[in-house]
């Protein structure tokens, strides 16, 4: 399919991330509120009382990490290092006292918890906390998977065999990433698809450009390379976006799409699969 003008492609970019009401209640927020209530109910804060609390509330001990400024993911990393498990529930039930001691030794848990339990917070403090903890990070991560999920749904509707998130092998043994490979990864890949969606700017956009360039460079004449690139974050990296579009314009990749043009992607994917003799699933 010939490339549409760059300006027309940019106009089809859309926002991937849902609008978030930071004041709305969520199951996660309710869980944290419940955990905080039980911490506030403790008569005092010391190693013994917190060890008993972790044993009584093993599913909520991640809140202690929030007290010292650790995300859940960072807590998991420390748990693997300390106890050879990423489960705070398991660590709490089996080594609750040791967990509290580690958090206190390395992150000053007892002092920070005592201070925060007795503090009053202003509206400004709330906004600073939201900025520091990036309250929308979880949703942003989910938006990054939105394109991949859409592509898998299309492949399934066309009854095409595929492998998500792997690498394919092209000419002269070169390999490159493929967010969707039809019918398989490795040397058997016939169609390689890149899925790159970002609503914010950053180094990941440069990585995305590099991966699509690797895909274009590695593919053989018999392999098809497609890319679905969307999200308003690209509007802050127009030079990078134009590099991707240039690969389409020069014929180094066979198609470039956004979520708004997935109907065309489905038509092209179906056509390329038929031309390359990809067997359909029953």
Query: pLDDT tens digits for 34-47?
Result: 999 999 999 999 99
Q: How far apart are CA 251 and CA 62, in angstroms?
A: 50
Helix (H, G, I), strand (E, B) or coil at 174: coil
Contacting residues for 71 by C-beta, under 8 A, at least 6 apart: 65, 133
The better pLDDT of the pair 124, 281 is held by: 281
Residues 45 and 110: beta-carbon distance below 8 Å: yes
Q: How far apart are CA 225 and CA 241, in angstroms?
A: 17
Would you say residue 136 has pLDDT above 50?
Answer: no
Q: At 236, is the pLDDT very low, low, confident or very high (cuts 50, 70, 90)?
A: confident
Q: At 18, is the pLDDT very low, low, confident or very high (cuts 50, 70, 90)?
A: low
* DSSP calls for 150-176: HHHHHHHHTT---EEEEEEE-GGG-EE
Nearest of 274, 198, 184 to residue 229 by alpha carbon: 198
% the chain with pLDDT above 90: 68
* DSSP calls for 201-212: -SHHHHHHHHHH
Q: How far apart are CA 50 and CA 36, in angstroms?
A: 13
What is the pLDDT at residue 203?
83
Q: At 33, is the pLDDT very low, low, confident or very high (cuts 50, 70, 90)?
A: confident
- Architecture (CATH level 2) of domain 6-15+142-275: 3-Layer(aba) Sandwich (3.40)
CA distances from 248 to 190, 195, 245 (A): 18, 15, 5
Tell me the HSE value of 228 on the side-chain side, using a 13 A CA sphere.
30
What is the pLDDT at residue 230?
93
pTM attached to this predicted model: 0.62
Q: Residue 46 has what DSSP assignment?
A: S
What is the pLDDT at residue 19?
62
Domains of the chain: which residue ranges? 6-15+142-275, 27-135
pLDDT, tens digit (0-9, with 9 covering 90-100), for 177-222: 999 999 999 999 999 999 999 887 788 899 999 999 999 999 999 9
pLDDT, tens digit (0-9, with 9 covering 90-100), for 66-101: 999 888 888 988 898 899 998 999 999 999 999 999
Q: At 122, is the pLDDT very low, low, confident or very high (cuts 50, 70, 90)?
A: confident
């Amino acid at each position: 399919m010939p490339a549409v003008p760059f300006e027309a492609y940019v106009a089809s970019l859309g926002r991937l991330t849902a609008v978030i009401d930071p004041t709305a209640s969520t199951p996660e927020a309710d869980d944290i509120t419940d955990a905080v209530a039980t911490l506030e109910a403790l008569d005092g804060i010391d190693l013994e009382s917190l060890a008993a609390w972790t044993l009584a509330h093993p599913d909520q001990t991640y809140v202690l990490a929030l007290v010292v400024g650790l995300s859940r993911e960072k807590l998991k990393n420390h748990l693997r290092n300390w106890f050879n498990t990423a489960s705070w529930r398991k660590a709490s039930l089996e080594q609750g006292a040791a967990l509290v001691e580690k958090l206190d030794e390395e992150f000053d848990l007892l002092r920070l918890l005592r201070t925060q339990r007795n503090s009053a917070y202003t509206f400004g403090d709330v906004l600073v906390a939201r900025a520091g903890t990036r309250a929308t990070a979880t949703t942003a991560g989910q938006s990054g998977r939105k394109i991949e999920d859409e592509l898998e749904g299309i492949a399934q509707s066309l009854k095409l065999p595929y492998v998500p998130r792997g690498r394919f092998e092209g000419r002269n043994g070169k390999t490159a990433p493929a967010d969707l490979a039809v019918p398989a990864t490795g040397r058997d890949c016939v169609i390689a698809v890149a899925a790159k969606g970002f609503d914010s700017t950053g180094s990941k956009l440069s990585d995305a450009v590099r991966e699509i360039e690797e895909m274009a460079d590695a593919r053989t004449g018999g392999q098809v390379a497609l890319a679905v690139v969307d999200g308003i974050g690209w509007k802050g990296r127009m030079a990078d976006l134009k590099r991707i579009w240039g690969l389409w314009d020069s014929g180094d990749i066979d198609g470039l799409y956004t979520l708004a043009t997935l109907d065309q992607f489905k038509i092209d994917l179906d056509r390329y699969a038929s031309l390359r003799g990809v067997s359909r699933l029953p």
